[in-house]
Chain A
């Protein structure tokens, strides 16, 4: 699954 930390994109 995706990691929450990855939400660095706009």
Chain B
């Protein structure tokens, strides 16, 4: 494992910790998109089916379990926790995610490396992850007062994707036969989705202003 990959995974882990802490400490999930969290739950469930079929490393298994568990915890809080669920921006979080799920699934049926259930679901998770942040970005645009932690959450998630690209470049140069075109293209699309957010995040940070995204 190279430094970019490890740093990327750590960013991903931190992003989730930040979100858990924010919701738990403030007893509020204001500004957090339940739709994005549910999309991530679908992504993780479909991708980590190999937990049952293959063992890669203790690190790998632990991280997968953390991602699954934390995402379901957040969803549970937002849907059922008696204090937190009241703070959910239901009226603002209206992104119709079926318009993401269906095309990604159809694309995975057509464009995959092997037409088997496991492989199609895995490919579907790759495509879906690329766009899963969209409901969250739309919700941030609609939120006038983005709190720091929610902004940091999205920034950390974006950093994780950017670091994965560096990881792929590094692996491509150091490992023979290391190629995964579908993952690379989806990953680049996913990172592009964040560019606009990055621009406003860094600008607000440099100017010492509160983060807000233009509608």
| Chain A residues in the interface with B (C-beta under 8 A) | 1-3, 6-10
Contacts and interface: CB of A to CB of B under 8 A. Distances in A.
Chain B interface mostly: helix
A7 B123 CA distance: 11
Given A1-B113, A2-B113, A10 B63 contact: yes
Nearest to A10: B63
Contacts of B64: 10
6 contacts: A2-B183, A7-B56, A7-B122, A8-B60, A9-B183, A10-B67
A9 B26 CA distance: 33
B207 interface: no
Contact of A3 (B57, B63, B177): B177
Chain B's interface size range is 20 to 34
A6 B67 contact: no
A3 B178 CA distance: 8
B180 A6 contact: yes
Given A2-B179, A3-B177, A10 B122 contact: no
Contacts of B111: none
A10 B182 contact: no
B30 interface: no
A1 B183 CA distance: 12
B179 A10 contact: no
Contacts of B63: 10
Contact of A2 (B9, B57, B182): B182
Nearest to A3: B177
B5 interface: yes
B2 to A, nearest CB: 11
A10 B12 contact: yes
Contact of B5 (A1, A7, A9): A9
A7 B9 CA distance: 15
Contacts of B56: 7-8
A6 B9 CA distance: 16
A6 B58 CA distance: 16
A5 B56 CA distance: 9
Given A1-B113, A2-B113, A10 B177 contact: no
